[in-house]
Amino acid sequence: MEAELTALAASGATAFVGLMATEAWNQVRGRVARFLARGEDGEDSEAVDAELEESRAALLAARRGGDEDGAADVTAEWRIRLRRALRDNPEAARELRELLDELAPHQPAAPTVTVNNSTNGGTYYSPVIQGHDISGLTFNGGGAVSSRPEPGAG
């Protein structure tokens, strides 16, 4: 049962933090805060909402700065908090599953990409690259420049 709760906590944290970086966050933030606040000692959903917003700011700053460890830390913090909440109140597992099911439509879908490339014949005087989302490449050529025949020259 502990492994199941740990996996559920990880799923919940991943979903919550994933939503923090989307436009949908404003729609679901209150629902997430109410879930997290229930059962907490003396905390209300406004306090949890403030913590969620701090986490969102930290997440967005980490992503803007390319700090993957910082972004992962935000997820880890919420995973730990969810695991504790589930351990302290096993009924919360059912509620968390229901919440995750409700939030599923708001989760950004992973894009499905199909790429079919082919290169036939011809003479290539520079690298030929086929791919998806390629950026920041630099090619430095060296050596002598060969003369290239003009297209249509016979």
pLDDT, tens digit (0-9, with 9 covering 90-100), for 4-33: 888 888 888 999 999 998 888 888 888 888
Q: What pLDDT is stored for residue 140 in this prediction?
A: 64
Residue entry with tokens 């049962």: 1
Residue 37 to residues 17, 53, 68, 87, 123, Cα–Cα distance (Å):
17, 14, 28, 15, 66
Residue 114, judged by CB atoms within 10 A of its CB (0-12, 13-18, 19+), counts as exposed
Decide if 52 contacts 59 (C-beta within 8 A).
no
Residue listed under structure tokens 């939503």: 19
Return d(Cα 55, Cα 78) in angstroms, integer: 9
CA distances in angstroms from 136 to 89, 117, 133, 139, listed in the order given: 49, 21, 10, 10
Per-residue pLDDT tens, the chain, 154 aa: give them.
578 888 888 888 999 999 998 888 888 888 888 888 875 555 677 888 899 999 999 999 998 999 989 989 999 999 998 998 888 887 889 999 988 888 876 655 555 556 666 767 777 777 666 665 666 666 665 555 555 556 665 5
Distance CA 133, CA 119 (A): 19
Q: Any residues with CB less than 8 A from the CB of 5 and at least 6 apart, and which?
A: 83, 86, 87, 90, 93
How far apart are the C-alpha atoms of 51 and 88, rounded to whole Å? 20
Q: Name residue 65's amino acid.
A: G
C-beta pairs of 90-96 under 8 Å, 24+ apart in sequence: 90/1, 90/5, 92/38, 92/39, 93/4, 93/5, 93/8, 95/35, 95/38, 96/8, 96/12, 96/35
